[in-house]
C-alpha cells in the first residue's frame, strides 16, 4: 500500500502545477462532475449509511446528501467571486501602488475523516479543496466501511488519481499518509488524534485544519421556554444516536426547573422516537461499534455506581448495538461522563443556582466546539456570550449553525484549529498571497540609504 500511496502522491505533486492554472469555469466543471457522480450513487449511499449507522433515509438525506448538495451549489455559485483577487487599501509605504490579495491553491492536500457523518465529512472539505484548485488524497474511516467503499467508487468515477484519490484503511494507513510532506492536512476526528496529526504535520511544516470534538455545553437559562428547549435539545442529542460532534453534550438547568425539564425532555423523546413503548429501530441510529457501545455503557454504569440518578432509559440492547435515550442527574464529582466527550444518546443534566456558577464550570473545561443558550433574556444571553468561548453558538436552538455556509464552522484550541464551509473552506485550502503592483509614481527611494543626513523620523 505504501508504495501505491507514494506513486499517487508523487503524481499529484507533479500535477498540482497544471491544476493551479485552472480558472473558475474549469473548477466549476469539476464540482459539477462530482455532483452528478454523487447523484448516480445516491441509492448506494442510502444503503451504506443504513448498514454503517442505521441512518434512516430521511436522516441521510438531510444530514449527509442535502448538506453536500448545498455546499456544492454554494461553491459553484460563488467560486468566481471567491477566486478573484481582493483589493486592499493603500498605506503610506504604498501610496500609489495596487495592493491585492490572491488566493492560490495550497497544492496537494490530505483529508482524513471520522465515521459519524462519513460521507459529509469527506465531501465537504473535498469540495473546498477542489474549489481552491488543489489535488487531494482522502482517507475515510475504517469504522464506516460501507460508506467508505461508495466514497471510493465516487472518487474513482469522478476524478483521475493524479487529481483526487481515495485510500481506504485504518489508523496505520493514516500514519503512513501523515509521513508525507503534504501542502495541507484537513483532519476531522478526536482531539487526541488531532494532536498526533498536528505533531506529524509539524515535521514537514504542513499547515493543518483540525475539526475536533469535546464537550459542548448547553445552558437553559431560568428565563427560557422550557418546552422548546427540551424538544430542541432532544433532537440535537439524539440525531445519529448522539454521535454528532456538535451534539449538546450536557445541560445546565436551573434547580427550580430540573424536574419540569426532565418531564419535558422525556415527552419530546417519546414524541420523536417511541411509537409504542419501544424505540423504533428503523428510525433510531445504532452505536457505531461494540467498542463504542461498551464505552458508553460503562460511562452510564460508572456514574450510577457513584450515585447519579437515572431519570430516563438505562435500557441497553447489545445485539442491536443500541442505547435507548438516557438522562442522568445528580452527577457526582469525578464521574467520567462529565470528564470525556460522550458522543452517544446520554444526557447529563447539571442543576444550578446562578449563571456565574455555570460560567465557572464551562470555563473550567477545554473550549467547546459548540455552546448553546436557551433564554428569552437578552441580558443573560449577552452575559453568557461575553464570558465564554466556543467554536460556534446557537441561541434558542442547537446544531443549525453548521447548516449555513455563510458562517465559518470550526473549533477553538481543544476543539479545533481553522474553519470550514463556503468561503471559509475555500480560504482554508488556499494560500492568501499578498501582491503589491508598484506604481510608476514611486517614492520608495526616499527610505533608501544613505541614512546619514536623514535625521527625521516617520
Residue from 8, 19, 109, 112 that binds ligand NAD (CB under 6 A)? Answer: 112
Host H or E run for residue 44:
helix 42-53
Identified catalytic residue from 64, 211, 231, 341: 211
Residue 12: phi and psi, rounded to 5, are: -65, -40
Would you say how long the chain is, in residues? 458
Strands 322-323 and 316-317, sheet pairing: antiparallel
Q: Considering CB under 6 A, how many residues would be counted as binding ligand NAD?
A: 27
Sole window of 41-49, 182-190, 373-381, 441-449 interacting with ligand NAD (rule: CB under 6 A): 182-190
Residue from 193, 264, 328, 371 that binds ligand NAD (CB under 6 A)? Answer: 193
**How far apart are alpha carbons 277 and 133 in whole angstroms?**
53
**369 scored as a contact of ligand NAD (CB under 6 A):** yes
Dig out the grid coordinates for 340 from the structure.
470525556
**115 scored as a contact of ligand NAD (CB under 6 A):** yes
**114 scored as a contact of ligand NAD (CB under 6 A):** yes
Residue from 141, 148, 329, 375 that binds ligand NAD (CB under 6 A)? Answer: 141
**How far apart are alpha carbons 37 and 201 in whole angstroms?**
32
**212 scored as a contact of ligand NAD (CB under 6 A):** yes
CB of 288: closest distance to ligand NAD in angstroms? Answer: 8
- C-alpha distances (whole Å) from 38 to each of 48, 373, 409 are 13, 36, 23
Residue from 12, 116, 128, 148 that binds ligand NAD (CB under 6 A)? Answer: 116
Note if 211 is an active site residue: yes
Of the pair 142, 301, the CB lying nearest ligand NAD is at 142
DSSP string, 151-196: HHHHHHHHS-TTTEEE----HHHHHHHHTS--SEEEEES-HHHHHH
Residue from 175, 289, 353, 377 that binds ligand NAD (CB under 6 A)? Answer: 175
- B/e letters for 132-162, b = 16+ CB within 10 Å, e = fewer, are bbbbbbbbbbebbebbbebbbebbeebbebb
Dig out the grid coordinates for 48 from the structure.
451504506
CB of 152: closest distance to ligand NAD in angstroms? Answer: 13
CB atoms within 10 A of CB 318: 12
**Residue with nearest beta carbon to ligand NAD:** 213
**245 scored as a contact of ligand NAD (CB under 6 A):** yes
**How far apart are alpha carbons 315 and 296 in whole angstroms?**
12
CB of 307: closest distance to ligand NAD in angstroms? Answer: 27
**31 scored as a contact of ligand NAD (CB under 6 A):** no
Of the pair 82, 343, the CB lying nearest ligand NAD is at 343
CB of 354: closest distance to ligand NAD in angstroms? Answer: 30
Sole window of 41-49, 186-194, 360-368, 376-384 interacting with ligand NAD (rule: CB under 6 A): 186-194
On whether the CB atoms of residues 310 and 304 are closer than 8 A, the answer is yes
CB of 411: closest distance to ligand NAD in angstroms? Answer: 6
**371 scored as a contact of ligand NAD (CB under 6 A):** no
On whether the CB atoms of residues 349 and 309 are closer than 8 A, the answer is no
**How far apart are alpha carbons 163 and 64 in whole angstroms?**
24
**Residue from 83, 132, 138 nearest 106 by CA:** 132
Site for ligand NAD in 391-430 (CB under 6 A): 411, 416
Q: Name the residues that contact ligand NAD, by CB under 6 A.
A: 112-116, 121, 139, 141-142, 170-171, 174-175, 188-190, 193, 196, 211-213, 245, 341, 343, 369, 411, 416
**Active site positions, annotated:** 211
Amino acid at each position: 500500500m505504501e508504495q501505491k500511496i507514494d506513486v499517487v502522491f508523487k503524481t499529484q505533486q507533479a500535477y498540482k502545477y497544471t491544476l493551479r492554472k485552472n480558472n473558475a469555469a474549469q473548477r466549476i466543471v469539476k464540482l459539477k462532475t462530482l455532483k452528478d457522480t454523487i447523484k448516480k450513487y445516491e441509492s448506494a449511499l442510502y444503503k451504506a449509511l443504513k448498514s454503517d449507522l442505521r441512518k434512516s433515509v430521511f436522516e441521510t438525506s438531510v444530514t449527509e446528501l442535502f448538506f453536500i448538495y448545498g455546499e456544492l451549489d454554494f461553491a459553484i455559485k460563488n467560486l468566481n467571486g471567491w477566486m478573484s483577487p481582493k483589493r486592499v487599501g493603500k498605506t503610506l509605504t504604498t501610496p500609489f501602488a495596487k495592493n491585492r490579495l490572491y488566493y492560490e491553491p495550497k497544492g496537494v492536500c490530505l483529508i482524513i475523516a471520522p465515521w459519524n457523518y462519513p460521507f459529509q465529512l469527506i465531501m465537504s472539505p473535498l469540495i473546498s479543496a477542489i474549489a481552491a484548485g488543489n489535488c487531494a488524497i482522502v482517507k475515510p474511516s475504517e469504522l464506516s466501511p460501507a460508506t467508505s467503499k461508495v466514497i471510493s467508487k465516487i472518487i474513482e468515477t469522478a476524478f483521475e488519481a493524479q487529481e483526487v484519490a481515495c485510500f481506504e484503511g485504518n489508523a496505520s494507513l493514516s500514519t503512513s499518509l501523515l509521513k508525507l510532506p503534504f501542502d495541507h492536512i484537513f483532519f476531522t476526528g478526536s482531539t487526541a488524534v488531532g494532536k498526533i496529526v498536528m505533531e506529524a504535520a509539524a515535521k514537514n511544516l504542513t499547515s493543518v485544519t483540525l475539526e475536533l470534538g469535546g464537550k459542548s455545553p448547553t445552558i437553559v437559562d431560568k428565563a427560557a421556554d422550557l418546552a422548546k428547549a427540551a424538544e430542541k435539545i432532544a433532537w440535537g442529542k439524539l440525531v445519529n444516536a448522539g454521535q454528532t460532534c456538535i451534539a449538546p453534550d450536557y445541560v445546565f438547568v436551573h434547580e427550580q426547573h430540573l424536574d419540569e425539564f426532565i418531564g419535558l425532555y422525556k415527552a419530546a423523546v417519546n414524541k420523536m422516537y417511541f411509537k409504542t413503548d419501544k424505540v423504533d429501530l428503523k428510525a433510531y441510529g445504532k452505536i457505531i461499534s461494540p467498542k463504542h457501545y461498551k464505552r458508553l455503557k460503562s460511562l452510564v454504569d460508572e456514574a450510577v455506581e457513584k450515585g447519579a440518578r437515572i431519570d430516563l432509559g438505562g435500557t441497553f440492547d447489545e445485539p442491536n448495538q443500541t442505547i435507548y435515550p438516557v438522562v442522568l442527574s445528580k452527577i457526582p464529582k469525578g464521574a467520567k461522563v462529565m470528564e470525556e466527550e460522550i458522543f452517544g444518546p446520554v444526557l447529563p443534566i447539571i442543576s444550578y443556582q446562578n449563571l456565574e456558577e455555570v460560567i465557572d464550570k464551562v470555563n473550567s473545561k477545554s473550549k467547546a466546539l459548540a455552546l448553546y443558550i436557551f433564554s428569552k433574556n437578552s441580558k443573560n444571553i449577552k452575559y453568557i456570550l461575553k464570558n465564554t468561548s466556543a467554536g460556534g453558538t446557537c441561541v434558542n436552538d442547537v446544531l443549525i449553525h453548521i447548516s449555513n455556509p455563510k458562517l465559518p464552522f470550526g473549533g477553538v484550541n481543544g476543539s479545533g484549529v481553522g474553519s470550514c464551509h463556503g468561503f471559509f473552506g475555500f480560504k482554508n485550502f488556499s494560500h492568501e498571497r499578498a501582491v503589491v503592483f508598484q506604481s510608476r509614481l514611486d517614492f520608495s527611494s526616499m527610505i533608501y540609504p544613505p541614512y546619514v543626513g536623514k535625521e527625521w523620523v516617520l
